[in-house]
Structure 1
Amino acid sequence: MSEQFFSPCPRGLEPLLVEELGALGAHAPQAVPGGVAFGGDWTTCYRVNLESRLATRVLWRVAGGRYRSEEDIYRIAYAPTWAKWFTADDTLRVYVTAKQSPLKSLEFVTLRIKDAVCDHFRTVAGRRPSVDTANPAVRIHAFLTRDAVTLYVDTSGDPLYRRGFKRAAVEAPLKENLAAGILRLTGWQPDEALVDPMCGSGTFLIEAAQIALDIAPGLGRSFGFERLRQFDRAAWAALRTAAEERRKPVRRLAIYGSDIVGEQVRRARVNLEAAGLAEGVYLDRADVLERVAPAPEGVLVTNPPYGVRIGEAEELAAFYPKLGDALKKHWSGWRCYVFSGDPALPKLVGLKASKRTPLYNGALECRLFEYRMVAGSNRP
């Protein structure tokens, strides 16, 4: 039987997620701002959780309706057959997001939805589940528009960009699914060289290596759907086994990472080792302004620092022109991609971007700048 699902993703990646979900067997994927709605059976749900590099979650639609007050939302939330999907022994948490809702307090809406679910359990089972805000067994998501509410059960659990292995975080990290989307936007193929010369914690390197070795991004973790009563253990085991058999053994890849900060290189190495990919990626300490291309052509992709503290703006204003000079001097023949939330970058780097793709890193509006480095002047 076909169910209805919704997968949020970083804003700007919706068209890519439509393509990815279609390839994974989703029925009629349709993009809306912030994600993609699609249909499918439970095996499709399991496959998307396991295989999607771009989705943030897979939410299962269980109810919806029009509302004018919190009590309308309570009645809508009381109606689903919650006790068929999980038990009173399972902990839960309710998440509410809204767009143009006239209701004053989302905290009160959250409370009323929680009350409705618990009252449903008291009616049909004689006892109610407890709330766990830190590590709930079941996550219920509600989305409010101006006059309608939709309720979902989260089949993912932890967000899908948590691949299950990252150990060493850095300040303002790039989410893994956004990094995977940026790699898709560059057009990089696994037979091409790939370099991140400001690699931070190694997110681009890990995502690229997983793509090159056909490693399903969800193989190292568990999922929320495994806690639901309708969980099909045999179907899930078959999907996991097929993904395990498809993955290629780790080998040395044409993927290169470096950073001028030794601690960042150490963190990237820790994360590559945790992912089992340290033997597949070249990693060293180097200054982006001095390192040279390891091949005649390929893809350079990086997420340089952009200033948020006092004093950083002046440092970056001096750095960006040098970065443009380095790309021109050392990376002729390469497609270079710089992801940044700094509006000053395109003017200061001194190169003419052949493409500018708007993307969001959380709530921060960013751009992916494409610079095709060819022989001769590339300056505007």
Structure 2
Amino acid sequence: MPLAQRPQPDRPAIQIHILVGCSDARDVGQIHLEVVERVRSEYLARGVRSELYVLRTPGSFFTADVLTDVRRIVEGTQRDLGPNDVAEYFVHVLSHGELSIEGEEKYRCRLHDLTVEQGSVFNCGMLQATRVAVDLERLLIGLKPEVRLRDGTSFVVDSEEGVRKLLWTHYGFDGYIAGDWIRSVDDLRTHTRLQKSAVERALRTDPNLRRLTFHVTAGIQDYRRNAYVRVDGGEPDGKFWDEGQRTINQHLSSQPAHSIDRARQSEGQMPLVGLFAMSDIRGSRARALARFAAMHERPVTSYEPNTVFAISGSTLDLPETPFGPYAIAGLFYSAYTLGLRQYLIMGTGAAQVERMVRKVETDPLASLIVKHFRVALTPAAVDPEASAS
């Protein structure tokens, strides 16, 4: 059920879709990009304007920083509405793994219809987030960085108490990194449902957002079968989102197993480059791959899955706001475990990109990770509305 109701206009509402998905490089391919744009054009031809904003955070956790991203998207949309326009908002929580499904229905499933294949390389890496966080704590204490405060004083992070002081002074969190600020996904099925509930609860209690019409869906991308599955029984209707995902499933199932979109998604994660991107940039991963290929003289004709590890949001251009826990976990995981040594910093102009770079370089944990692993930060300014192909 929608979280709030208001009188509907005679013509269809504007649909604003917000994806809260994982950073995993295997999540989308060229077919995904083409189908989304085609369905979007078909909706527009029917008189329905639809927009898709993509928030990428490792583990698809709906944390405070992701809620801030959602607020910014909604506020920007509301400011641009005409006097007779009404926006209908959809938030889609998306995780990934390898599933076994009981029954004939393979799209609209319930949690108890699904079994997660334990230990599969297709399961979300944040099932091991606590282990990743322990490694980050160990690195932090071993390097003993000096952290400067706003009042000009400084302290050295050389113990667990130093870690706790860092989290409190710079990230507003009273606790430790491992198992506290950063926690593992326990079960992909319950995790996706839990994040959906977290979204609904946050929207219901926000004094500004609760007056608007929101629909929240939960799904898992099965990398083994190359198919998206709703884990909430298909309620509520995702409209543009569901139509697009069903079409993508059909297209992928008709492709041979060795086709690029299927074969590359069905491998272990091996990205070529990392990406920080603003959420309003269409096809940011495809643009990042094209930039990377041009820089390194690689022959790439279209977007390929398993090439770009992406972190995206609407607050990445605000240097004074800290990164959230899973953006930090993802950056560390991508450098430490996946071996990435280059990140493209993608915004919609030189000034915005400069702010994004400054945010990485001034954030205590992000800057430490980048410096320690010698990760190159490459500015990439783009037109947000231009075609990504």
TM-score greater than 0.5 by the shorter chain:
no
Greater helix proportion: 2
Q: Which has the larger radius of gyration?
A: 1
**Where on the TM-score scale, by shorter chain, does this alignment land: which range?**
under 0.3
- Normalized against structure 2, the TM-score is what? 0.23
- Normalized against structure 1, the TM-score is what? 0.23
